[in-house]
Amino acid sequence: MKRNDAEDRLDARGASRRKFLRGAAAGTAALAGAPGAAQAFDFETFFQKHFREMSDEEIDDLNARLARKYEKKYGKPFSLDATGPLDGVVFGYGLDISRCIGCRRCVYACVEENNQSRDPEIHWIRVLEFEREQAFRSINLEEGNPYYDHETVPAEGKLYLPISCQHCEDSPCTNVCPTGATWKEPDGIVVIDYDWCIGCRYCIAACPYGARHFNWGQPSIPKDEVNTDLHLLGNRPRPKGVVEKCSFCIQRVRKGRYPACVEACPVGARKFGNLLDPNSEIRYLLKNKRTFVLKAELGTRPKFFYFYG
């Protein structure tokens, strides 16, 4: 349904004007303490401790409380845990850019698996399209286009580069977070405690890969599409005003499963495994294929390796 953009703009302005007035009223009422005028202030979350400082019982209580909250909101039972890392495991990721066709099935598989907000829209994976001729000389990121819209892919003469969190060994984001709400777990996954993040967005400024995303508005997930298998540091529905990003599907990989994007890719361009296991496919490709990482000169040491299969 094609609308003319003047209508869209007017509509958007009208919508935002109505929202402004409603929001100003609600916000003022909330500030003035009028009960029921705005969302009830969540005292339990307010006094919650940082994840890394909670005891196991506190985490179990938190998981149970959140599961109840989601059940009430979405009308289906949720399972929420905080599975710890496996011994002797550091995760690595491989992406075969000779095979990626830019179909974006990984993007939307991730959205569904990880309960990303549909409106306002958040995508953890972004696929950049380059002119193959140019990209062979050097990948100039300004030439990359994430908004390509073709009937079928791959389009003639194009190269596709999907980008998501690189889970750097030396990540700039974990360094700059003022509250320590984001950190690197022993199995190499960079995680976020969504109840500790204050939403200052310093990590978004610090990330060289544009991999972190902010919940600018109240996130919304359709009830029939919400994923009920949750991990506290991964795909649990996030509140407004906090940062989120790819978590290597922590709810899957810590139980031995592949991330959703690996399973969704129709051409098998995505590879995942344990970097410490010499027999894993990720070690095989690091040994036998030509690999590179993005922005290597920055010294972030990503664990996301692009290769030519």
| Beta bridge partner(s), residue 231 | 81
3-state class of 249 per DSSP?
Answer: coil
Q: For residue 145, what is the DSSP state?
A: B
Q: Interface residues for another protein in 243-262 (CB under 8 A)?
A: 243, 253-258, 262
Q: Which of 204, 162, 207 is nearest to 298 (CA)?
A: 207
Per-residue interface string for the shown chain with another protein, residues 225-244, x marking contact by CB under 8 A: --------------xxxxx-
Per-residue interface string for the shown chain with another protein, residues 261-290, x marking contact by CB under 8 A: -xx-xxxx--xxxx-----xx--xx--xx-
Asked if residue 114 binds another protein (CB under 8 A), the reply is no
Question: Which residues neighbour 259 within 8 Å (Cβ) at sequence distance 6 or greater?
Answer: 113, 248, 249, 252, 253, 270, 272
Asked if residue 306 binds another protein (CB under 8 A), the reply is no
Asked if residue 90 binds another protein (CB under 8 A), the reply is no
CB of 134 to another protein, least distance (A): 13
Can you read off the two tokens belonging to residue 181?
Answer: 């709400």
Of the CA atoms within 13 Å of residue 69, those in its CB half-sphere come to 14
Could you give the angle at the alpha carbon of 291 between the alpha carbons of 293 and 136, nearest 5°?
A: 85
CB of 237 to another protein, least distance (A): 15
CB of 9 to another protein, least distance (A): 8
Q: Which of 60, 65, 201, 276 binds another protein (CB under 8 A)?
A: 201
Burial class of residue 184 in the structure, from the number of CB atoms within 10 Å of its CB (0-12 exposed, 13-18 middle, 19+ buried): middle
Asked if residue 132 binds another protein (CB under 8 A), the reply is no
Of the CA atoms within 13 Å of residue 240, those in its CB half-sphere come to 8
Asked if residue 183 binds another protein (CB under 8 A), the reply is yes
Site size for another protein (CB under 8 A) = 131
| Beta bridge partner(s), residue 273 | 92
Asked if residue 293 binds another protein (CB under 8 A), the reply is no
Q: What CA–CA distance (Å, rounded) separates 269 from 96?
A: 5
CB of 117 to another protein, least distance (A): 10
CB of 201 to another protein, least distance (A): 4
Between residues 226 and 253, which has the closer beta carbon with respect to another protein?
Answer: 253
Q: What CA–CA distance (Å, rounded) separates 35 from 17?
A: 24
Q: What CA–CA distance (Å, rounded) separates 29 from 48?
A: 25
Between residues 52 and 76, which has the closer beta carbon with respect to another protein?
Answer: 52
Burial class of residue 119 in the structure, from the number of CB atoms within 10 Å of its CB (0-12 exposed, 13-18 middle, 19+ buried): exposed
Asked if residue 112 binds another protein (CB under 8 A), the reply is no
Q: Which of 75, 136, 145, 308 binds another protein (CB under 8 A)?
A: 145
Asked if residue 210 binds another protein (CB under 8 A), the reply is yes
Asked if residue 75 binds another protein (CB under 8 A), the reply is no
Q: What CA–CA distance (Å, rounded) separates 183 from 175?
A: 8
Asked if residue 24 binds another protein (CB under 8 A), the reply is yes
Asked if residue 134 binds another protein (CB under 8 A), the reply is no
State phi, psi for 299 to the nearest 5 degrees: 75, 25
Asked if residue 28 binds another protein (CB under 8 A), the reply is yes
CB of 64 to another protein, least distance (A): 18
CB of 174 to another protein, least distance (A): 4
Between residues 3 and 223, which has the closer beta carbon with respect to another protein?
Answer: 3
